[in-house]
A = this chain, B = another copy of it.
Amino acid sequence: MKPKRIMEHIPSFLDADPFSNELGIKLESVSDNSAVLSLSVTQKHLNGHGTVHGGVIYSLADAAFAVACNADGIPSVAINTSVTYMKSIKSGKLIAKAYEFSKNHRLGSYIVEVYDDGGEKIAVFQGLAYRKSKK
């Protein structure tokens, strides 16, 4: 059985991340292979069209991916990500749900779905992490 304390470092992991704090990213929940994070949209998150900047949606998805892939205690870094944007959003809350597709001793593969607070699908993100396992 996976010990629950594996995830205990995650809140401080996010607290120690200046950019995530700057954006107002919050941890909603975490398991050893999934995570839910959120962000409340404010004026500073917008682009020139008055919709949330792709970089904000990406950063939230990427943070959810980082939390999910670091939750098992093996330091992991993003090496590749791909994201599809399906719908723009102007205000309210963004929620990113990350879950593991598969992992081995070197790589971890994750999917992140991004929703607005009405449950509309905003974006889908695919992340690949390099895991710094000791051999």
Bound Cα distance from A63 to B47, whole angstroms: 10
* Interfacial residues of chain A within 40-63, with CB under 8 A of chain B in the complex: 43-48, 53-56, 58-59, 62-63
CB distance from A56 to the nearest CB of B (A): 6
A35 at the interface (CB under 8 A from B): no
Knowing A43-B18, A53-B17 touch, does A86 contact B102 (C-beta < 8 A)? yes
What is the count of identical protomers in the complex?
Answer: 4
A83 at the interface (CB under 8 A from B): yes
B18 touches A46 (CB 8 A): yes
A34 contacts across to B, CB distance below 8 A: none
10 A–B contacts, CB within 8 A, in A order: A17-B47, A17-B53, A19-B45, A19-B46, A19-B47, A19-B53, A20-B47, A55-B62, A79-B85, A86-B104
